[in-house]
Amino acid sequence: MKIVTLIGARPQIIKAAALSRAIKNKFSDKVREVIVHTGQHYDANMSQVFIDELSIPEPNYNLNIGSGSHGVQTAGMITGVEEILLREKPDYLVLYGDTNSTLAGTIAASKIHVPIVHIEAGLRSFNKSMPEEINRIMADHASTLLFSPTETGLRNLIHEGFDKDNQPPFTADHPGIFHCGDVMYDNSLYFREIAEEKSNILKTQLLEGKPFFLATVHRDNNTDQPERLNAIFEAFLEISQESQTTLLLPLHPRTAKLLDKNLDSRLYQQLQQEENIRLIPPVSFLDMIMLESRCEMVFTDSGGVQKEAYFFEKPAIILRTETEWKEIVEQGCGIVVNADKKKIMGAFDHFSHAGKEIQFPPLFGDGKAAEFIAETMLGS
């Protein structure tokens, strides 16, 4: 079997490591993987660092699309992916998640009848103002094999008309849907010991043995709306000052570029002067999971980071209006606070007192999601 794997944004590069590893370790005689990078993310610390650190094979193609409006970016990718699919003639195009790279792959492949495998299928925020919600619905409804990390995801697909009893041979009109666990969980389990060995981040940030909070912010409706961005950072400032605890923020380049423009100048200055607020460039995956495993609490609007907080048994304060990972909230391990300073402070207060008693039962599979995906592709 020949597959083309499409990656582009940071979390997709990370997710792809799990399937590449499963193919290398168990299926190398049966599956050949061609990797295509759209170039949606391109800074070394948003892309190459993961390819190197997570032993992902060097991409066979890079479209070097870069940044742009949704239309410009997606259109460029569609053209490039179509050309490669026509040349490579794969059995499947493998897509991850919900980015513009995912959407471009969906359109390119479905029009020329290359069957699509969608990993992280079925997730819904039920908020179509998110670009990701449109991207993931389009990908799911054009796919032949859909792998959902959660039961909720599988239920969402059934609710949208997918039949869980479909049997092979699968096609886009007769798709197979599966609940298989989360490839990100596979990765967190696999890399946690390697991170303990190789990551220096606690040392370089002088955080060894010290309590600290970890935060990430990159969602467009937070970065691009000054009111929301100000509320979030006001809360961060207050929390770090009141608790006299370091709040470490590896900043996505989107956010880094907009802080100066969208934050009130006084707040921006206070953030820069506050020694407990630490704004740093994006970190590598091994550093990130090291931080997640040692921090007290996570503040994030990231899909991946709220889940990894759960994997490492840390409470997550979710800076969004809703979440696709509703199990985390139902379990009492995450609180959705929007960009509302009062709610952020309330959730912080709650977890400061209740944080240690929370239970984190396994919800995201057994660490073998990627093997299941490879086996299912081969049997399809």
Binding site for ligand UDP (CB under 6 A): 10-11, 14, 216, 218, 250, 282-285, 288, 302-305, 308
Judged by CB, which is closer to ligand UDP: 34, or 277?
Answer: 277
Angle CA 77–117–170, to nearest 5: 135
Distance CA 257, CA 23 (A): 38
Position 74 contacts ligand UD1 (CB under 6 A): no
As given in the structure block, the two tokens for residue 2 are 């020949």
Q: How far is the CB of 257 from ligand UD1 (least distance, A)?
A: 5
Which residues are tagged catalytic? 218
DSSP string, 158-188: HHTT--TT--SSPBTTB-EEEE---HHHHHH
User: Residue 285's binding partner, choosing from ligand UDP, ligand UD1, none, with beta-carbon cut-off 5 to 8 A by kind?
Assistant: ligand UDP
Position 253 contacts ligand UD1 (CB under 6 A): yes
Per DSSP, the three-state class of 75 is helix
Judged by CB, which is closer to ligand UDP: 179, or 307?
Answer: 307
Distance CA 314, CA 317 (A): 10
Q: How far is the CB of 95 from ligand UD1 (least distance, A)?
A: 12
Position 286 contacts ligand UD1 (CB under 6 A): no
Position 17 contacts ligand UD1 (CB under 6 A): no
Contact string 118-137 vs ligand UD1 (x = CB under 6 A): -------------xx-----
Q: Near ligand UD1 by CB under 6 A, which window of 40-48, 190-198, 224-232, 306-314? A: 40-48
User: Residue 216's binding partner, choosing from ligand UD1, ligand UDP, none, with beta-carbon cut-off 5 to 8 A by kind?
Assistant: ligand UDP
Position 100 contacts ligand UD1 (CB under 6 A): yes
As given in the structure block, the two tokens for residue 154 are 């599988």
Distance CA 52, CA 35 (A): 14
**Which strand (E) or helix (H) includes residue 204?**
helix 201-204
C-alpha distances out from residue 236 to 197, 205, 246, Å = 31, 18, 10
Distance CA 328, CA 371 (A): 24
Judged by CB, which is closer to ligand UDP: 181, or 250?
Answer: 250
User: Residue 41's binding partner, choosing from ligand UDP, ligand UD1, none, with beta-carbon cut-off 5 to 8 A by kind?
Assistant: ligand UD1
Judged by CB, which is closer to ligand UD1: 43, or 52?
Answer: 43
| Candidate residues 21, 37, 218, 294; the one interacting with ligand UD1 per rule CB under 6 A | 218
Handedness of CA 227, 244, 347, 362 (dihedral sign): positive
